[in-house]
A and B are shown apart, each in its own frame.
Chain A
């Protein structure tokens, strides 16, 4: 899947690297005991440390360290047994300490990889440069008062993992796939809920372009804090085309930080390189270097769940699913669990089919996630059983499925209640056939005269007669016999 921009003079390739800020799933903040619930009243989750009060000191929350290591292991990355927290100095009203505690030259996690499975079946390996722990800042609210800014420090000090990719992506689609895959891994690991709309996962995109075949990277621009995958993809595409336009009209791109405006789909300059902060990083003297041994890492590794890549491989080999179906089923851990519950002791392909073709579509339409599905995995499995043991036909099953969606009941009860049980006894079917033949002697003549295709019409009529409950195989067999001259 190549993404190239045809310009006037050249064909251009886009080069993308992403920095993702993922909020660590933890009860308390990175360096204080204050809670981290989303949506709490402003300034209700702020300790003296988070407010930067005089004499307050940070103490590392070990849970956050464990989550960062877990994430590093999930990204198949190098874990650094010794890392250092540094102060990143800048002034802003929602940064109470006047510095952010972050990691600079010695991050907790080093190089790793993420594998993207693109829709065209190609796998792309994207390098992870590093993952480090850092504090979030508070929030400035500018629109509550004409001249004042309000500050909410609930986020101040919340633990973030900054996950930095190598500049390995070459299309907006790859960037989107990267974010979806990263989110999937984080959710499997339980280290970040990945909710971009709540700001739990935010993305900065570094974008540059170069003529196809050119070695080396040209000047990049960083698009800050984009809050949905779709917007990231749009922003990258816009930015890449902007670069091409600038180069082709003889201009130069200058390194700068830009902002994406989703209203008009454009990026605009926030600050130039000259205006960039000198963050004056230095090791935070309030904190000792973060040191742990291999056993610590091994203990965390032992608790890692099966991750999407491995699960996908297993679904292919164990259940015989196509790569595509397997890929779809493993994106969300909940979905994969649901599928495996349905597939247990049943035909896995039928299970995959029902989950992907029927359930996903229905849930999408209802706008709810699989964890809120009105049809439990157990009930969907039972529905498949009813088809397998010929209690109902596949066609009736679709009706039962709709009723299950609406009423949330089990398929047995619905089939029983509505009298949908399939007719497999010869008698009633023969009666229905007799009736149809008696009512349509002309059609019978035509069929016997060689118009074979009419068999379908007869099937439909008999089905109608039986309220759709006739076993299709039986019906076919008996119909052929009866119609035979």
Chain B
């Protein structure tokens, strides 16, 4: 049955439609893969029983002509989405035993379309990290390894569990969230497609908040088509999220015309710093060549405030997080360590419940918002954020999309960067600007590094123009001809 896990999401969808196999068979195959890949630690919670039950329903629905767009397709759900009746941890000790009595809008949309939840995927604690190592449940592992090196590599983060789960074929697709690169960077590390839509495209209701003005849900899949299929279901206006946009959701799959003739693609000079990894620089050049071959016009552009993006992000995101994480106080749910007084209970609970990286960001954010520092840090960061946004607005007056590398390096061994937060933060240097600007971005696996690890290229477009992004991404994917892992083994 393992061959069913080799299907892409769209192939599985078509197979179910044709009756080649049942949703139960498809789900069982993925449950088996989930079990054989447990060494990767990609799932925090597996729900095989629920999944089989849902698969039976899906088969029943299909036999009664009531199949939804994703009927019977098993997915992994980042454990940052609240799922009714299923433990939701945000990979944090502080949410011990928290089983939400409600379902996030995005996962409710997927459910309503017939998708099946296999389990909750691992992530950096509260989505804070670029390697998955800050998870209270231990780091997820990248199914890829360097040639001749047996060490486990990080899957990237924060949606590392989702990326690794998709790469290892334990699910047909997964959903993640992206705050500064948390979908795109792990997608690049694991050789899958990771899409962060426009801010406001997917509802944030029921997603454990990290940084409210940046958090955005998106799909992680093995193909661009799968990404388009999932996003179409995830997206849509939600009255319960004031920042969700009342915009029509286009047929993203229909945008995959394969035709990019005459499109103008920008190459920002700021994304090619001195000392850029040569594999990555070479891959970027290749990508340019592929797009040119397909009839696109390539132009050099400048995004002058790029260098301020990372420091700006590390003010805005921790500031918002410091308030968003105040509700984890031991009073109503999750972990509580009793204390002598209310303050003592807070201190003990939060000291035990949060990991080092989360504490670091709460402290940074609290400092940045403090009396006397607010203007110098938070307010200034907001102003710079406007400038970064303006950079993109100006750029998109002349180009339809922008092509950059997704990450400055390939996946690294577990533990390699964990002593140095700043070098860890640098992983997001190419993804953070788009997050700050609220524009959509997609990472496409485009090749391998010299030591055999996947590398991604990133495409960016203006707000609400995911269709152009998918169209160009489809062409890039085709040209790159990247072949993922076979069965959770070597590349």
Contacts and interface: CB of A to CB of B under 8 A. Distances in A.
Interface of A: 48, 51-60, 87, 89, 91-93, 96-99, 149, 151, 278, 280-282, 284-288
Contacts of B208: 54-55
A91 B243 contact: no
Interface in B225-246: 239-243
A212 B288 CA distance: 80
B185 interface: no
Contacts of A87: 323
Interface string B421-462: 000000000000000000000000000000000000000000
Contacts of B241: 57, 59
A151 B333 CA distance: 14
A87 B322 CA distance: 11
A52 B330 CA distance: 12
B342 A55 contact: no
Contact of B327 (A98, A280, A284, A288): A98
A143 to B, nearest CB: 16
A89 B207 CA distance: 21
B370 A48 contact: no
Interface size band for B: 35 or more
A99 B207 CA distance: 19
B212 A286 contact: yes
B209 A55 contact: yes
10 nearest CB pairs, A to B: A98-B326, A285-B212, A280-B369, A285-B213, A52-B327, A55-B206, A54-B208, A55-B82, A278-B371, A98-B327
Interface in B57-85: 81-82
B332 A52 contact: yes
B326 A99 contact: yes
B329 interface: yes
Given A57-B204, A99-B326, A286 B242 contact: yes
Contacts of B88: 54
Contacts of B209: 54-55, 286
Contacts of B333: 53-54
B366 A280 contact: yes
Contacts of B211: 285
Nearest to B320: A285
Interface stretch (B98-106, B267-275, B299-307, B387-395): B98-106
Nearest to A48: B102
Contacts of B374: 280-282
B331 interface: yes
Nearest to A98: B326
A288 B323 CA distance: 17
Task: Tell me what chain A mostly uses at the interface: helix, strand, loop, or mixed.
Answer: loop
Contacts of B342: 92-93, 149
Contacts of A57: 204-205, 240-242
B370 A280 contact: yes
A306 B453 CA distance: 76
Contacts of B104: 55
A96 B327 contact: yes
Contacts of B325: 98
B418 to A, nearest CB: 26
Contact of B205 (A55, A149, A151): A55
A43 to B, nearest CB: 11
B331 A151 contact: yes
B346 A91 contact: yes
B416 to A, nearest CB: 32
A288 B244 CA distance: 10
A307 B378 CA distance: 44
A232 B212 CA distance: 41
Interface in B300-352: 319-320, 322-323, 325-327, 329, 331-333, 342-343, 346
Nearest to A90: B326
Task: Tell me what chain B mostly uses at the interface: helix, strand, loop, or mixed.
Answer: loop
Contact of B369 (A56, A89, A98): A89
B115 interface: no
Contacts of A59: 239-242
A282 B242 contact: no
A301 B206 CA distance: 38
Nearest to A153: B332
Given A57-B205, A286-B242, A51 B329 contact: no
Given A53-B100, A282-B369, 4 more contacts: A53-B327, A54-B95, A93-B329, A285-B213
B331 A93 contact: yes
A449 B242 CA distance: 96
Contact of B323 (A53, A58, A99, A151): A99
B7 to A, nearest CB: 32
B265 interface: no
B90 interface: yes
B242 A60 contact: yes
A59 B205 CA distance: 11
Contacts of A278: 370-371
Contacts of B100: 53-55
Contacts of B240: 57, 59
Contacts of B329: 91, 93, 98
A113 B332 CA distance: 43
Output the residue of B102, B240, B331, B346 with the most chain A CB within 10 A. B331
Nearest to A287: B242
A393 B172 CA distance: 96
A178 to B, nearest CB: 31
Contact of B378 (A151, A282, A286, A287): A282
A52 B327 CA distance: 6
Nearest to A52: B327
B326 A97 contact: yes
Output the residue of B327, B332, B346, B370 with the most chain A CB within 10 A. B327
17 contacts: A48-B102, A53-B100, A54-B209, A54-B327, A55-B205, A55-B206, A55-B207, A59-B240, A59-B242, A87-B323, A96-B327, A98-B326, A151-B331, A278-B371, A280-B369, A280-B370, A281-B369
Given A278-B371, A282-B319, A288-B243, A96 B332 contact: yes
A93 B326 CA distance: 11
Contacts of B319: 282
A60 B243 CA distance: 12
Nearest to B203: A57
B323 A98 contact: yes
A51 B331 CA distance: 10
Contacts of A52: 327, 332
Interface string B197-229: 000000011111101110000000000000000
B323 A282 contact: yes
A482 B372 CA distance: 96
Nearest to A58: B242
A270 B92 CA distance: 36
B327 A97 contact: yes
